[in-house]
Structure 1
Amino acid sequence: MDRIFTVEEARALMPSLLERADEFVGLRGDLAELARDLREYGTSEAGGLPEAKALEARLDEILGWFETHGIEIKGVSPLLLDFPAMLDGVPVRLCWLEGDRELAWYHRDDLGFAGRRPLR
């Protein structure tokens, strides 16, 4: 069964989430640049295939942390994360999008991101 968060429980995870999300975004950019250099030139100042594999492994570790804590990964570029929750008896997802510095949005399960609304 999926974990159901209260708003308070989800917000309590935000410092750890933000730390990992910031690292994820930086590593994702590093990997994109390294991969492009390797494709285009066969070499890169950032390294080679071993460095690319190490970046991929760390990105997977970070994604695993989210999943282990019951946070759903909806996208990785941009990073989009949902916390399953209930608001006023309605199933919702507390929604965090890359660039947000707090958990301030939700959407009903049946509407998805298009139904995103501010938390009150």
Structure 2
Amino acid sequence: MDRIFSLDEARSLMPEVVARVTDLVALRADLAELSYDLENAGGSPLGGIPEGKALEARIGEILLWFGDHGVELKGVAPVLVDFPAVLDGVSVRLCWIEGEKDLGWYHRTELGFPGRRPLPR
């Protein structure tokens, strides 16, 4: 069965989520730059194919962490994560997107990102 988070549980995991996302953003940028340079200039200050494969492997490890902890990764550029939860008896996703300071949004499970609302106080 999929994990269901309380708001407190999701918020307690946010420091680790933010740390992983910070690493992912840096790796994502390095891989984009390396790939572009290799294709367009034949070389890159960031290395070559082996370094690209290492970046991909490190990204893969980070992506697996989210699933291993019951956090749904919905996008990687920008990073968008959902925590399955229940609010007032309704299935929702506590929603956080790269760049936000706190976990402060949710949406009904079936509505996705367009249904985002601020969490009740």
The DSSP-based 3-state class of the residue aligned with 2:80 is: strand
- Structure 1 residue identity aligned to 2:8: E
**% identical equivalent positions:** 62
> Given the two structures, how large is their TM-score scaled by the length of structure 1?
0.98
Runs of 4+ in 1 over 4 A off after TM superposition: none
- Structure 2 residue identity aligned to 1:63: L
Which residue of structure 2 aligns with residue 74 of structure 1?
Answer: 74
The DSSP-based 3-state class of the residue aligned with 2:45 is: coil
How many residue pairs get aligned? The number is: 120
> Given the two structures, how large is their TM-score scaled by the length of structure 2?
0.97
Query: Residues 18 and 101 of structure 1 are in contact (CA less than 8 Å); yes or no, is this contact kept in structure 2?
Result: no
Structure 1: state its 5+ residue gaps.
Answer: none
Supply the RMSD in Å over aligned alpha carbons: 0.6
- 1:106 has 2:87 as partner: no
Which residue of structure 2 aligns with residue 32 of structure 1?
Answer: 32
Q: Deviation per CA, 1:54-102: give whole Å up to 9, x if none.
A: 1111111111111100000111111111000000000000001011121
Structure 2: state its 5+ residue gaps.
Answer: none
